[in-house]
């Protein structure tokens, strides 16, 4: 397998730099195997504080573990939510954040047969042990062998593989901790992927984009001709739009406070846009349920932007003929989860919660909404079973059936990692690729 890969690449005229590096890793046995590696990591010492690039020590992988060299990583909003969290069992500092990444296997521990040194892999925050009742069922992707009980360490024993320069443990994050040049993962959190997919596109599939596409595809099972409302057009929401577009949705309504998301949403199949800031006379829910007249589109962009009509125009007809067939919450606010449920169609409307509530607030749902036949569900990782579904998405991309262009809006080097936080918090980036070696 390794030889075939090398041969296949050697007949290509020009090798990208990344591929050359990986070929070297494939050929040479790791000099670091079995030993701790000293390398750089972006450490967060206190909630909400800028990350600091520090030298750390990464232990060799134990049994069923894999140590990888991170090629690139990116910032997902879930990192930001936990970065701000200053109390509770899931808050642990100093910590190495990051859970969306792609890497190359540096070495493996005992009993690991699924991947070997030099393999291109995606780390995933949701374990897929393949053996528990949930992993074997098509109905679940929440592994019961490794539930989220060890928030701050490795999934099997909760201990850390990272030490700072004073020899003190650093906390892991979501079983991945990719804001480091090397990291250790349980084999249940590693997916081998083809090296034909460009590294930055692969990185997107490690969390946000897979979550969105998977939610439209696997959780909602959006149908041809249906109406879809997406609250929040970040990477997750835009990926929902991409998934809904692929499933043939006829109307995809994006709801976002940031007007810059109009243009980017269009690229992913968003057909209509609502900016709640301008919904002064109607709630977003009312707009979604009742408004649909082409006569009342804003003249600046007749096909797309809805918000001005709400201020200036009382001509309102049905936008979704009674409520959207599918609603997705991709922000992480309980109030918007409620809006999403209220915007869904009685009878069969389905709401999928993807946002991680940023204040830990509970969601309250009126039982009358449920009695009217609405369904509310949620999912980690878009219902995706990492080991089988991610290679499927990679193939879809390689066959030009899945659009991953447009998600990467910025690229920076590892030492500038704090810029990725600024860009996401300011609403300027969708995904910012953080290159470890550039
Ligand atoms: N379920 C999962 O497995 C999973 C996976 C990845 C991310 N997430 C969660 O999904 C959510 C989105 O992640 P992301 O990386 O796409 O985030 P993001 O920050 O890129 O996108 C969030 C979007 O919501 C918009 N927004 C914020 N507040 C709003 C409001 N009040 N009204 C309307 N729009 C508003 C922002 O302008 C932005 O466009 C987060 O809560 C994240 O934690 C969940
Ligand atoms: Zn994520
Ligand atoms: Zn399992």
Determine the average pLDDT of the residues in 12-37. 57
Tokens of 172: 């892991």
pLDDT of residue 289: 58
93-106 pLDDT, tens per residue?
A: 999 999 999 999 99
Ligand nearest to the CA of 382: 1
Model confidence at 23, pLDDT cuts 50, 70, 90, reads very low
Parallel, antiparallel or unpaired: strands 326-329 and 350-353: parallel
pLDDT of residue 322: 81
pLDDT at 9 over 80: no
Comparing 13-27, 272-286, 395-409, the range with the smallest average pLDDT is 13-27
Which residue of 330, 407, 430 sits with most ligand 1 atoms within 8 Å of its CB, as the best mutation to test the pocket?
Answer: 330
pTM greater than 0.85 (yes/no): yes
* Phi/psi of residue 52, nearest 5 degrees: -120, 130
Q: Indicate the helix (H) or strand (E) that contains 410.
A: strand 408-413
- Helix 77-84 / helix 417-425 crossing angle, nearest 10 deg: 100
pLDDT of residue 308: 38
Q: How far, in Å, from the CA of 211 to the mean position of ligand 2?
A: 8
| Ligand 1, CB within 6 Å, residue ranges | 76-78, 81, 207-208, 211, 232-237, 255-258, 261, 276, 330-333, 336, 354-356, 379-381, 424, 427
> Which atom from ligand 1 is nearest to the alpha carbon of 78?
43
pLDDT at 48 over 70: yes
Q: What angle do CA 398, 399, 404 make, to 5 degrees?
A: 55
Please, what is the average pLDDT of the chain? 86
pLDDT at 315 over 80: no
Ligand nearest to the CA of 135: 3
Model confidence at 283, pLDDT cuts 50, 70, 90, reads low
pLDDT of residue 150: 72
SS3 375: strand
Neighbours of ion ligand 3 (CB under 5 A): 129, 132, 135, 143, 145
Q: How far, in Å, from the CA of 9 to the mean position of ligand 1?
A: 39
Tokens of 429: 């980036």
pLDDT at 53 over 60: yes
Q: How far, in Å, from the CA of 75 to the mean position of ligand 2?
A: 8
pLDDT at 292 over 60: no
Q: How far, in Å, from the CA of 137 to the mean position of ligand 3?
A: 10
Tokens of 138: 């098509």
Comparing C-alpha atoms, which of 28, 37, 35, 17 is closest to residue 181?
A: 37
CA-proximal residue: ligand 1, atom 10 (nearest): 355
Model confidence at 342, pLDDT cuts 50, 70, 90, reads confident
- Give the integer Cα–Cα distance in Å for 57 and 89: 25
- CA–chain centroid gap for 369, Å, is 29
Determine the average pLDDT of the residues in 138-157. 91
First to last CA, the chain: 29
358-376 pLDDT, tens per residue?
A: 999 999 999 998 999 999 9
pLDDT at 114 over 50: yes
Q: How far, in Å, from the CA of 340 to the mean position of ligand 3?
A: 31
**E strands within 210-250?**
227-231
């Amino acid at each position: 397998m390794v030889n075939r890969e090398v041969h296949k690449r050697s007949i290509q005229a020009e090798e990208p730099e990344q591929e050359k590096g990986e070929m070297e890793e494939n050929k040479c046995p790791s000099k670091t195997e079995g030993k701790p590696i000293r390398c750089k990591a972006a450490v967060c010492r206190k909630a909400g504080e800028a990350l600091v690039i520090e030298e750390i020590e990464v232990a060799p992988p134990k049994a069923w573990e894999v140590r990888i060299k991170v090629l690139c990583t990116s910032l997902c909003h879930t990192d930001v939510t936990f970065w701000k969290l200053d109390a509770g069992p899931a808050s642990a500092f100093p910590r190495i954040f990051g859970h969306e990444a792609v890497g190359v296997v540096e070495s493996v521990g005992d009993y690991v047969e699924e991947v070997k040194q030099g393999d291109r892999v995606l780390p995933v925050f949701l374990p897929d042990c393949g053996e528990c009742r949930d992993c074997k069922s098509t109905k679940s992707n929440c592994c019961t062998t490794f539930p989220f009980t060890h928030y701050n360490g490795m999934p099997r024993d909760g201990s850390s593989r990272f030490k700072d320069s004073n020899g003190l443990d650093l906390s892991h994050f979501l079983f991945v901790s990719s804001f480091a040049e090397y990291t250790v993962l349980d084999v249940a959190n590693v997916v081998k992927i083809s090296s034909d997919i460009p590294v930055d596109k692969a990185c997107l599939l490690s969390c946000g984009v897979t979550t969105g596409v998977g939610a439209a595809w696997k959780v909602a099972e959006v149908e041809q001709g249906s109406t879809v409302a997406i609250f929040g057009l970040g990477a997750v929401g835009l990926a929902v739009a991409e998934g809904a577009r692929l499933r043939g949705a006829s109307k995809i309504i994006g709801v976002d406070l940031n007007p810059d998301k109009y243009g980017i949403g269009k690229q992913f199949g968003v057909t209509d846009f609502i900016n709640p800031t301008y919904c002064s006379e109607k709630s977003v829910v009312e707009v979604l349920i009742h408004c649909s007249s082409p006569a009342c589109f804003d003249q600046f962009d007749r096909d797309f932007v809805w918000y001005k009509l709400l201020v200036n125009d009382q001509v309102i007809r049905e936008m979704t003929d009674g409520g959207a067939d599918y609603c997705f919450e991709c922000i992480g606010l309980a109030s918007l989860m409620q809006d999403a449920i209220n915007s869904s169609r009685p009878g069969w409307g389905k709401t999928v919660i993807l946002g991680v509530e940023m204040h830990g607030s509970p969601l309250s749902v009126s039982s009358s909404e449920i009695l009217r036949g609405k369904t509310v569900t949620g999912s980690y990782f878009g219902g995706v079973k990492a080991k089988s579904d991610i290679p499927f998405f990679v193939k879809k991309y390689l066959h030009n059936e899945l659009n991953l262009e447009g998600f990467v809006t910025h690229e920076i080097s590892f030492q500038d990692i704090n810029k990725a936080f600024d860009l996401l918090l300011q609403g300027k980036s969708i995904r910012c690729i953080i290159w470890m070696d550039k």
